[in-house]
DNA sequence: CTGAAAGCGCTAACAT
DNA sequence: ATGTTAGCGCTTTCAG
């Protein structure tokens, strides 16, 4: 309450402010007895360092800015949580900015955060191209790590899941469970998550069926698009819908159920990200889980490295391996129907089960 | 990049640092011509105020701390978004701390944020009692607004939805659609959201059925509990499950579907909060929508008031009215099935629809 | 190992 | 209306 300063601690412990500073920061060796007295006094007075003063003097605020496109995107809360925890563990605080998918707002937030002397920036760019200038400008001022999405080649250090590997996990799984007429419900646009996932689909789907790479519908990463996409592709009678993220999968599932289509009997549905809703949906959605805690830890590590080692060293692009989470939405089409369910009207061939756990690694 | 300071601007524009400061902050009248020169120089040099210095001197960082229990609780992302937008609009930045439902961590974050000289604190307390000391201590140092949950009587200004009114909306709706054997799936514990909602249920349910106030199962605010709670209450054959939040409702719905129970034919299910999942669930969940944007705006307003007007004025406890969102999960039990849907096997009586929009006010 | 002193960049008295 | 000056609380030379 009463703002206790270094001077107060110095007075009470009977030494100079310099000594107190050294004890508390551990910057330089201090006599054991003196150190004890200082710590005692500091404790007794309830001393709290004034970060503003410290920042002014040491040019470091112990603060990092986190700029993201939409906290309401269900993939981000978990990421934010892991990031804040990782950074707090290093004694840093997190300034949060939600730019609402607007690159202009994003640029303003970045500028504002730089003005507030953040030590570093963590950015999930809102747009592949339109975020680039602001990010590039920021990179020149502070360490900056890009997360989740890219923003041009080698613009900054980056950490993301290996989307290509994730899509391969899905396709392998579908192949192994007898699906052939797969079809991709993806997102148009240049976001790296969109391009990488659809690229990986195109590359891998040919192994299932020569026609598969062309069975692609592109919209955005939303539930609404998932619903609409089903109407677009259903006439081609696919036996699996590979969705570019879980929201699309949720939408697809809804529309299929509305149409009376049996999932997974008639068609399998898969997602990407493993947002909470994927597990809670009925049927549960088979998806690719991003290693969120590890992504956060890597980002924090990269930042720490730049903050310590200065600017040197080449840009790093870290890709972490995802994990396939198998749920009911992709149970083999050959599976017998669970009891308590009614056969769909369209009627489809189906037979022997192969084995499907609620969650199995690839 | 090159750190331009007030002095540089002063030198170039040919006046004193004080004048420059006054021009840029607009604190005091300055000659038009001088002001122009200053602004020009500042522009030309790319001057960026140093917030650390400003904070040290003026004892105001333009920063507010936001402490919450769990960003992964699906109700909070929207709130966080609205709060950050409201505060950014006033030129403040937001320091985020997720205490992971741990009052001890919460206390540490609060102390840390105070050390970082936040101008104010926004706290969603993790615990009704165990958060109190930290909050009380913080209230003595900076303006503080409690959100969503309480933390003892009149500890600080607070903003929350009117839980009692919300529960009344639900009960009225159920009564109007012919439900009588209602039953409450709530949360034990002393969080205000838990106590107020179950209190309101107990108070209002008697109007439907004398036995209703006693048909109560208490657990926590989770999907898992929703599932378990169904097993606990289903033997009493209720025709409506009033859930204390949407997560419980989602769990209840899942378990009911697993049991082959028809919703809303056999039983209606309602939630509270209107998290995104409530709309996306199948059937959509009837729920009570919190006026999130308004809650955020009120909180920002309260903070601004304290920040401007000093400490004076009595503590305010603002309660905002919620809105009932009617979805399929509570359609009258007499409703006919939408076309394109397959009859469930368990077979339940059902008939004419009354009218159900995807979203209707009470 | 410790103390004295010089600011970090800015704002707010206090002069003029 | 403008300039001068004194710090905000801390870290960090530089002496001792």
Instruction: Please write the tens of the pLDDT for every residue from B132-144.
Output: 999 999 999 999 9
Number of A/B CB contacts below 8 angstroms equals 144
Residues 130-149 of B with CB under 8 A from A: 140-141
Q: Name the residue among B31, B46, B38 with its Cα closest to residue B14.
A: B38
In whole angstroms, give the CA distance from residue B244 to residue B201: 9
Q: What is the pLDDT of residue B362?
A: 28
| Joined tokens for residue A291 | 């290693």
Smallest CA–CA distance, residue B225 to chain A, in Å, is: 13
| Joined tokens for residue B229 | 């709670």
The contacts found for B356-359 with CB under 8 angstroms, 24 or more apart, are B356/B326, B356/B327, B356/B328, B356/B331, B357/B326, B358/B279, B358/B284, B358/B327, B359/B325, B359/B326, B359/B327
Strand C lies under 7 A from the Cβ of residue B24 = yes
Q: CATH number of the domain at A63-161+292-319, out of 3.40.640.10, 3.30.470.20, 3.40.50.300, 3.40.50.2300? A: 3.40.50.2300
Q: What is the pLDDT of residue B181?
A: 95
Residue of A nearest to B277 (CA): A277
- For A232-254, give the secondary structure using H, E and C: HHHHHCCCEEEECCHHHHHHHHH
In whole angstroms, give the CA distance from residue B232 to residue B242: 14
In whole angstroms, give the CA distance from residue A65 to residue B95: 9
Chain B interface mutation, best of A42, A52, A245, highest count of B Cβ atoms under 10 Å? A52
Q: Hey, do A63-161+292-319 and A163-291+322-347 end up sharing a CATH topology, with the first three levels equal?
A: yes
In whole angstroms, give the CA distance from residue B297 to residue B275: 19
Q: What is the pLDDT of residue B356?
A: 32
What is the reported pTM?
0.89
Q: What is the pLDDT of residue B308?
A: 85
In whole angstroms, give the CA distance from residue B108 to residue A252: 44
Domain ranges for chain B, please list them.
Answer: 6-49, 63-161+292-319, 163-291+322-347
C-beta of residue B186 within 8 angstroms of C-beta of residue B214: no
Q: What is the pLDDT of residue A355?
A: 30
Q: Do A113 and B94 touch (CB under 8 A)?
A: no
Instruction: Please write the tens of the pLDDT for every residue from A179-206.
Output: 999 999 999 988 899 999 999 999 999 9
**CA angle at residue A283 from A282 to A284, to 5 degrees?**
95
Contacts with B141 from chain A: Cβ below 8 Å: 1
For residue A351, how far is the Cα from the chain centroid?
38
| Below-50 pLDDT ranges, chain A | 1, 335-362
Q: What is the pLDDT of residue B333?
A: 62
Chain B interface mutation, best of A98, A278, A328, highest count of B Cβ atoms under 10 Å? A98
Nucleotide nearest to A56 in CA–C1' terms: C8
Instruction: Please write the tens of the pLDDT for every residue from B25-49.
Output: 888 888 888 889 999 999 999 898 9
Averaged in consecutive runs of 10 residues, what is the pLDDT profile of chain B (362 residues)? 82 91 87 89 90 92 96 97 96 96 96 93 95 95 94 92 97 96 95 94 94 96 96 96 97 94 96 95 94 98 87 88 98 55 34 30 30
Torsion over CA: A127, A130, A134, A140 (sign): positive
Is the Cβ of B70 closer than 8 Å to some Cβ of chain A? yes
In whole angstroms, give the CA distance from residue B124 to residue A325: 33
For residue B151, how far is the Cα from the chain centroid?
15
CATH architecture of A163-291+322-347: 3-Layer(aba) Sandwich (3.40)
């Amino acid at each position: 309450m009463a703002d206790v300063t270094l001077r107060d601690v110095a007075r009470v412990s009977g030494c100079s402010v310099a000594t107190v500073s050294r004890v508390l920061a551990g910057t330089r060796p201090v006599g054991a007895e003196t150190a004890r007295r200082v710590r005692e006094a500091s404790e007794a007075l309830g001393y709290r360092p004034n970060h503003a003063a410290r920042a002014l003097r040491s040019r470091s605020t112990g603060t990092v800015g986190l700029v993201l496109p939409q906290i309401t995107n269900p993939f981000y809360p978990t990421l934010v949580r892991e990031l804040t925890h990782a950074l707090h563990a290093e004694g840093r605080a997190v300034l949060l900015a939600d730019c609402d998918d607007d690159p202009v707002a994003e640029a303003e937030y970045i500028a504002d955060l730089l003005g507030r002397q953040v030590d570093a920036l963590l950015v999930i760019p809102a747009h592949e191209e339109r975020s680039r200038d602001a990010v590039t400008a920021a990179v020149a001022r502070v360490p900056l790590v890009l997360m989740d999405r890219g923003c041009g080649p080698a613009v900054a250090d980056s950490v993301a899941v290996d989307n290509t590997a994730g899509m391969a996990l899905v396709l392998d799984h579908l192949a192994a469970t007898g699906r052939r007429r797969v079809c991709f419900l993806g997102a148009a646009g240049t976001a790296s998550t969109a391009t990488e996932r659809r690229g990986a689909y195109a590359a891998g789907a040919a192994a299932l069926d020569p026609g598969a790479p062309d069975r692609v519908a592109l919209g955005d990463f939303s539930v609404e698009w998932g619903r609409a996409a089903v109407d677009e592709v259903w006439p081609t009678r696919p036996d699996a819908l590979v969705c570019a993220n879980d929201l699309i999968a949720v939408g697809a599932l809804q529309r299929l159920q509305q149409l009376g289509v049996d999932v997974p009997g008639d068609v399998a549905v898969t997602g990407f990200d493993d947002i909470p809703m994927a597990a809670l949906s009925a049927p549960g959605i088979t998806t690719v889980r991003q290693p969120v805690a590890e992504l956060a830890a890597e980002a924090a590590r990269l930042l720490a490295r730049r903050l310590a080692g200065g600017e040197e060293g080449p840009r790093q692009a870290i890709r972490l391996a995802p994990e396939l989470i198998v749920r009911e939405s992709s149970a083999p089409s050959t599976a017998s129907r669970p009891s308590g369910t009614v056969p769909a009207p369209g009627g489809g061939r189906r037979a022997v089960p192969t084995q499907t756990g609620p969650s199995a690694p690839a």
